[in-house]
Amino acid sequence: MNESYYAPVVHVADGQDEGKMLRDVLRNRLGVSRRLFVKLKQSEGGLTINGERAYPSFRLAVGDVVEFRMEQESSDDILPQPIPLDIVFEDEHLLVLNKPAGIIVHPTTGHYANTLANGVVYYWREKGESCRFRPVHRLDQDTSGLVVVAKHPYAHQQLSVQMAEGTIEKRYRAYVFGRPPQDSGEVNEPIGRVPTDPHRRAVLEDGAPSLTFYEVKRAYPCGASSLHIRLGTGRTHQIRVHMGWIGCPLIGDSYYADPKWQETELAARLAGAIGRQALHASLLAFNHPVTEERLELKAELPADLQELERALGSLPPL
């Protein structure tokens, strides 16, 4: 098969598919989007059945091997740069990375270099792979942890559907000032953009529904807490906004700093302990977009948060 195609997505027809047209199985059973379906039809090697070129009107029999291949693309607008990558999982369809704090996921206006995308594009080029950089989700610049990148349109589409349906589980470790009102609970408050600052988010009546679950892992004598957090939705700055809303802002978060905490002795003792918000995306669980296998991937706590954890444990009651 032409090397300008990605690895095929393979489906063996069963009783549910017998007598149905290929187009219906692709659209209704495999979830191929209308846009991708049009591309597959137009591609000479895009659709095959039992190794032979197939047309959308072809009717399937049990045991037919359906394969569809997407033409390779590249991110020609992203500058390849040799940036160290911590790869947690990779196959023909996905790349999962443990992003360090301090690096943004994708180039933005005025910030074209030294992003995760620059490093991934370089890595793929050195491997001889041609893929367009397609992050399924993003992390804030100063949040560390797991990021999923799809290698082709179908993988991205299928994972985006899981994101929308809430079947992708995302868990975080967070270190906050104060103690939540309960040892475990949820924050169900709408989040929207602050009109006077387009980059800032806040709990607003007309905001988008937002749900965060938390559990106190450790309440430190000094008055800080370590939390396990699970997202029910994925709004921009959601954890940072919701934790601040319940009076427990993230340690080290200068953008959403609460003056009430910044003026305390605890804040003074922690000054310089960490140079970013104390937040780490520690676990991702999702169904593989092609094999449907359930994957659970983890990223250990980075060194700066381990050091913060030790510091919090050593501080006496305040």
CATH of 169-314, one of 3.30.450.20, 3.40.50.740, 3.30.2350.10, 3.40.640.10: 3.30.2350.10
Give the whole-angstrom CA distance, residue 209 versus residue 4.
42
Q: What is the pLDDT of residues 89-139, one digit of tens each?
A: 999 999 999 999 999 999 888 888 999 999 999 999 999 998 999 999 999
Give the whole-angstrom CA distance, residue 61 versus residue 111.
52
Q: Which CATH architecture has domain 9-68?
A: Roll (3.10)
Cα angle 92, 280, 250; round to 5: 155
Q: How confident is the model at residue 73 (pLDDT cuts 50, 70, 90)?
A: confident
Residue type, 14: D
Using CA atoms, how far residue 244 sits from 68, 176, 177, in Å, is: 47, 9, 9
pLDDT at 303 exceeding the cut of 50: yes
β-sheet bridge partners, residue 145: 99, 281
Catalytic residue list contains 77: no
Using CA atoms, how far residue 59 sits from 19, 38, 68, in Å, is: 5, 18, 16
pLDDT at residue 3, as a whole number:
55
pLDDT at 2 exceeding the cut of 80: no
pLDDT at residue 182, as a whole number:
94
pLDDT at residue 198, as a whole number:
87
Give the whole-angstrom CA distance, residue 76 versus residue 261.
46
Give yes or no on whether 87-165 and 169-314 have one common fold: yes
Which residue out of 64, 140, 142, 253 is catalytically annotated? 140
pLDDT at residue 283, as a whole number:
98
Give the whole-angstrom CA distance, residue 96 versus residue 47.
28
Contact 180, 207 (CB under 8 A): no
Contact 231, 214 (CB under 8 A): no
Q: What is the pLDDT of residues 220-262, one digit of tens each?
A: 999 999 999 999 998 999 999 999 999 999 999 999 999 999 8
Single out the residue of 179, 184, 251 nearest to residue 220, CA to CA.
Answer: 179
pLDDT at 1 exceeding the cut of 60: no
Contact 11, 66 (CB under 8 A): yes
pLDDT at residue 201, as a whole number:
97
Residue type, 90: E
pLDDT at residue 227, as a whole number:
98
Q: How confident is the model at residue 44 (pLDDT cuts 50, 70, 90)?
A: confident
Q: What is the pLDDT of residues 179-230, one digit of tens each?
A: 999 999 999 999 999 999 989 999 999 999 999 999 999 999 999 999 999 9
Contact 115, 107 (CB under 8 A): yes
Place of tokens 């919090």: 312
Provide CB contacts within 8 A for 186, sequence distance 6+.
211, 212, 213, 214, 232
Single out the residue of 28, 26, 27 nearest to residue 10, CA to CA.
Answer: 26
Q: Which sequence spans correspond to the domains of the chain?
A: 9-68, 87-165, 169-314
Mean pLDDT of the chain: 93
Per-residue pLDDT, averaged over 310-318, amounts to 91
CATH number of 87-165: 3.30.2350.10
